Structure 1
């Protein structure tokens, strides 16, 4: 039986209030969408398992509040995250500017360790788009992120969004483990070589009769 490699990842959703973060998570985890909008209070937490060939990823998804009064709590929720999904509303240009601020903050706090995806949500309202798609995709490229167009209402792009960030987190985790293994191997090899050198340099005792 083939061994299955297991991963545990923390993913945080960030963005302005009413951009659809909660709707995206509920659609992805439970396959549900509600027209009624209820603002998230501080943060909510859901889990999802993703199966890939020979691998299983368990996602702990944190849906954070977007209201300004909860902004100071952001670091509490994205601390120790391996992935971050930055959500904006394609009909609200200001919500995209807020995403740019979040990315600066994430890079400052977590560096390149965190995998970032940008979600342009509510593409079911394409006729009301307020920001050019090419501009958003170009920006994502400049910050090492990937852009996905989504709609929680019509369930568009959501599986791609979470699959993409999971794939990136697995690649980064594997790369980190491989680098650690190489460093440890070099360290052990160096240690063994140093012992040999020391042994070679030890003067041989002469026989009292020599």
Structure 2
């Protein structure tokens, strides 16, 4: 099995649900009591697709303005970025553009970009249209998804899409910082599995089913 190890950075304004989204994917847990991230939190997850194992080092960054100056420390050498905004807060969508400008100034290598409109469960309060968000994602060469950390909608699709993008980028060998090696793990899955480690010494989690949000409307995506 071929293995890829990549750094993923999660960017966006305070309160858009970055931490809730990552924790929901990594641990399949959701809590409304999430303290603001200080600096950054570190998680890992693995996605197996056909004969590739993609290990993602996910850096969940703080959204508060006072921590913004620290962000370059975390997205340096990143191979992919989750750009998260709140579907009910138009300003959080506008602020994504400044994060993209930061990435363009500070990251020289190609990146897999995923624009994520979170809080899809608050559809009745939507302030950003799918069309506008999708158009912007296309303009920066990224994919667009809509998710709900509360209802566990669309999140798996985001991470699988990132894995697919990293595999493609690895094959094109256009990103020197993307680590590639042969894995001794002989497990090959037709779907995927993931496991992760929360910040500091939190015990690891794992799950091995393909979709635990059966019956729910999938997140919006454009290519």
Give per-residue Cα distances to partners, 1:17-65, cap 9 Å, x unaligned: 1100000110000000001231001100011011110110111110000
**CA contact 1:40–1:65 (8 Å) conserved in 2:** yes
Give me the TM-score of the superposition, normalised by structure 1: 0.81
Q: Which residue of 2 aligns with 1:206?
A: none
Secondary structure, counterpart of 1:48 in structure 2: strand
CA distance in 1, matches of 2:85, 2:174: 33
1:127-142 → structure 2 map (5 Å cutoff)? 127-142=124-139
Q: Which residue of 2 aligns with 1:62?
A: 59
- Which is richer in helix? 1
CA distance in 2, matches of 1:147, 1:178: 22
* Runs of 4+ off more than 2 Å: none
When Rg is computed on C-alpha atoms for both structures, the one with the higher figure is 1
CA distance in 2, matches of 1:110, 1:159: 26
Structure 1: unaligned runs, 5 residues or longer? 180-210
RMSD over aligned CA atoms reads 1.5
Structure 2: unaligned runs, 5 residues or longer? 177-223
1:196-207 → structure 2 map (5 Å cutoff)? none
Pick one of 158, 162, 165 that aligns with 1:168.
165
- Which is richer in strand? 2
CA distance in 2, matches of 1:13, 1:177: 22
Structure 1 residue 79, shift from structure 2 partner: 0.3
Give me the TM-score of the superposition, normalised by structure 2: 0.76
